[in-house]
Structure 1
């Protein structure tokens, strides 16, 4: 198995519990409101053509669709895509979910007004290549907005759901941002790609929800960040 194969297998295996955690009823409404505010502030007004890369179970794509955007979500985990497609049927004009590689999305140049991702950069092979490809897909003045954190600054040591069985030393070596110690390391890749007006915004609303409701098992309370910028107009 390649490193990417192992990553795909991990997220397919974890998809049911991951989706269940994201949909937990005690926090769902507050999460949807907080993330709706975050993505509404990150992107220009709807309707936009948006590509959500590494869409997972589709939570971000669903929020973007509810904001009025036309959304395509891609992922390499068939297990995650199964949950995403189920969610898409619950709203009018739901996202279109497809199997696709976030590093090299198979769309023509200038196909989208915005590219988004959440919790992808840390587990992304070849992030410089990926970001360059995302910018190729953007129209002039398009927006790239990603959310992530420094999840494993001390190494990939997480006991949940056989994590280290899949995220082994070979996989860690293939992921430049997996053990990033500062969000500036992620932002630097976007800046080097040529994005303008780059901003790094701490997501205090999500941090406060995590404080109030608790965090996922085997995780630590950490600030998440929105990093956003634009292509030349």
Structure 2
């Protein structure tokens, strides 16, 4: 089933599940972006039902794109970030498609945000290595080489100070440790230096909630790579998910 250039994109996160119909030719949202709380615990059964409820709220029929917080290979989750570990080994495409009675295409949530930013935002026309970091409960990542996605990078799970980097430098870490934006920015700057040494990107784009506060910590970011906040901000995951479904439908 194919619905032309207007496709429902859904962004599944650890705290909320958001969705809107997207014009994949322009990246513009065609409906209000609706949000439901992610059920706790976020098991396959509970999240699939919430996903289906969001689809019903849009009164939508057709192919759906979904960004999901996991490594995704052939539709199956190989990790689980801020959701139940019961997702590991579960075919997310099958679970969501059966729940909502629509065909669903799934990719990693940060990869979805990256697709949107490369198609409609700062990454448009950018060659070389571009890395997008989504800053939220964790640190998601998407990497593109000459515009082509390298999926499932998970740079937020690199080791830093004896733990995964997102435990040290995510928005969640800032809140848990009651850090000011400058204090947290110094931590995040450490992470960016590490990332730059490992990946050698030509551009780093920041997405997620903390990207909206870039001016509060920009002065402590001194990595020798251009670092810029994403243009699409929090809508990027929704837009990129829709683009992914469109690309699958057209292929």
TM-score (norm 1): 0.33
TM-score (norm 2): 0.31
Report the structure, 1 or 2, having the larger strand content.
Answer: 2
Whose radius of gyration is greater, 1 or 2? 2
